[in-house]
Chain A
Amino acid sequence: MTSSLSEVANAHVTKAPSIRAAGTGLEARGVHAWFTKHHALADVSLDFAPGTVTALIGPSGCGKSTFIRTLNRMHEFIPGAAMAGEVLLDGKDVYAPGVDVTKIRLQIGMVFQKPNPFPSMTIGENVLSGLKLAQVKVDNKDDLLEECLERAGLWKEVKDRLGAHGGSLSGGQQQRLCIARALAVRPQVLLMDEPCSALDPGSTLRIEETIRHLSDTMTIVIVTHNMQQAARVSDSTAFFLSDGGPGQMIEFAPTSEIFSRPKDKRTEDYVTGRFG
């Protein structure tokens, strides 16, 4: 198991940070999270370099989904949710007083576990929905539509039926539609919370290809339960674990190292399949 994973991880050649990726990346500093009294996440500091893919792995309940949701301030939608620490986007704290949270979410897009296109909108309207929701004006909607669907790897399949409803697509296509929708507002960072867990292997492969293409131009953070997937798509990997208390980040390193020479015993146990 260890050898095969590290082979996959090494085969994925780490790119030099791309000059095209916008911004100076995303940084979490001492992030804690609570659900009412329950301390779910303790003291996580992570640096996401621009133009890289970072995978967050760990067993269920380790706080990785909670963590990713603190990055674009989706965590606070849960009643009783609280957080401490800082999340810096281009050096500015996204939790600073007076920050317009809708602007933050425009810059940090998100793709969810379950595909969630808007059922009342057509495929085309779904892709452009973010612009309408955030009242962003664009000159040429058709070009943007094609570009986003192309980047999400969906253009060829839907170009002749952009007027069909989003719900008429397969699960994998719906998820790529959601990626295209997230891309249309041109975020610097894309958060993906187990984007393939509801999909079949073929669709998963398509999404992974999409992630690799996208990482040229943006910073991607992906939560995954699938270690092979982390090995295939990511440049760096962070391992999260909860020992009954709040979830913690145990180890953060280049993906090839995590899967071949993990420094922490617990990381090694997890990536070699001894638990989790």
Chain B
Amino acid sequence: MSTVPAPRELTTRPRLSDRVFRRVVTAGGLSSLVILGLITVFLAYRGVEVLRQEGFNFITKSNWSITTDDAGNVVESHFGLAAMLVGTILCSAVAVVIALPISVATALYLNFYAPPWLKKFLIAVIDMMAAFPSILFGIWGFLVLMPSIEYWAKLLNRYLGFVPVFHVDAYVFTRSPFVAGVILAIMIIPIITSVSREVFSQAPLDRIQAAYALGATRWGMIKAVVIPHGRSGVIGGAMLGLGRAMGETVAVFTVLNIVFQVNWHVLFGVGGNVASLIILKFGEASPYEIKALMAAGLVLFVLTLLVNAIADLIVKTTGKSGK
């Protein structure tokens, strides 16, 4: 019986050019990590006092008040983000629910149905949509979209009002999370569409041909080949859009009726999200309140990370079979 040798260590000495290039790309790759880390440290440092003061109330209670004496010393303060967190989740969930089917349909149309000239044109338009300033979406949403969408909101409430999310306590349909969600949906459609288009276009040609050769219609081929192949990528794109929707500030601020009251009813005109709270209070905030806003930013940041982590998990567990 011969003895089995231990595996040898495999090494190579890279050339100077390769080592230099390696440093450059490493620096590039780590820069986003460093920037994100520094922001987190800054937010935590500035927000820790308020977080310690409020404890869990900061995310479970819904109030925002600060009283100072004539000298500017804080007499009493209550900070609680619950309503804003619920609003953040609600608005962005509405946005993804609306944007995802539209984006997937758009991506499928662009890849498999659109004539080449229209495809080019539409891609340019959609890319432009992504670069459109969000304040204009907000103003347009407030002035144009809201009056016309009220009708649809009422319709939804009338026929689906028995579903808790579509219930309203009072007949206030304007400035609701639903309206904000629709605007956010328009804003994230370009993101989800372009990611979906990319993954759909990478569906393997030999599988596509196999489906057609079996007598598949185009829709049948898409169902059998393209969607299974692109599913995990589409989920990834939706999560990217969700992240954008959760952090969106100006458009939501313009539209929403920011009230410190937890509201799970999407059609009811009461809401707010964390980012819009920050912009609402930032201008006139006292130094102590600014710390509270930094803490709010930290909470939003953690929420976004959490959602992304969950999304990653979903992609990893469901994405395998399609490849």
Contacts and interface: CB of A to CB of B under 8 A. Distances in A.
Say if A and B assemble together.
yes
Interface of A: 72, 74, 77, 102-103, 105-106, 109-110, 112, 114, 116-121, 129-130, 132-135, 165, 178, 181-182, 185
A-B pairs, 10 with minimum CB distance = A120-B228, A130-B214, A133-B216, A106-B215, A134-B215, A110-B213, A116-B206, A133-B220, A105-B215, A116-B210
Given A114-B206, A116-B206, A120-B321, A72 B213 contact: yes
17 contacts: A74-B209, A77-B212, A102-B215, A102-B216, A105-B214, A105-B215, A109-B214, A130-B215, A132-B220, A132-B224, A133-B216, A133-B217, A133-B224, A134-B220, A135-B220, A181-B214, A182-B213
Given A120-B322, A165-B321, A74 B215 contact: no
Contacts of B213: 72, 74, 105, 109-110, 112, 182
B206 A133 contact: no
A60 to B, nearest CB: 19
Which of B209, B211, B215: most chain A Cβ within 10 A? B215
Given A134-B214, A181-B214, 15 more contacts: A74-B213, A102-B215, A112-B210, A118-B224, A119-B207, A120-B228, A120-B321, A120-B322, A121-B224, A129-B211, A132-B224, A133-B217, A134-B217, A135-B220, A185-B215
Contacts of B211: 118, 129, 133
B222 to A, nearest CB: 11
Contacts of B323: 119
A33 B213 CA distance: 19
B221 interface: yes
Contacts of B215: 102-103, 105-106, 130, 133-134, 185
Contacts of A132: 220, 224
A204 B138 CA distance: 65
A118 B221 CA distance: 11
B225 interface: yes
Contacts of B228: 118-120
Given A112-B206, A120-B321, A102 B224 contact: no
Interface in B173-210: 204, 206-207, 209-210
Nearest to A135: B220
A119 to B, nearest CB: 6
B38 to A, nearest CB: 43
A109 B214 CA distance: 6
A18 to B, nearest CB: 24
Contact of B214 (A77, A114, A120, A133): A133
Nearest to A120: B228
A116 B212 CA distance: 12
Contacts of A129: 211, 214, 224
B184 to A, nearest CB: 32
Nearest to A115: B206
Nearest to B216: A133
A185 B214 contact: yes
Contact of A119 (B209, B217, B322): B322
A137 B322 CA distance: 26
A67 B20 CA distance: 53
A130 to B, nearest CB: 4
A112 B208 CA distance: 12
B200 to A, nearest CB: 15
B111 to A, nearest CB: 13
A237 B152 CA distance: 68
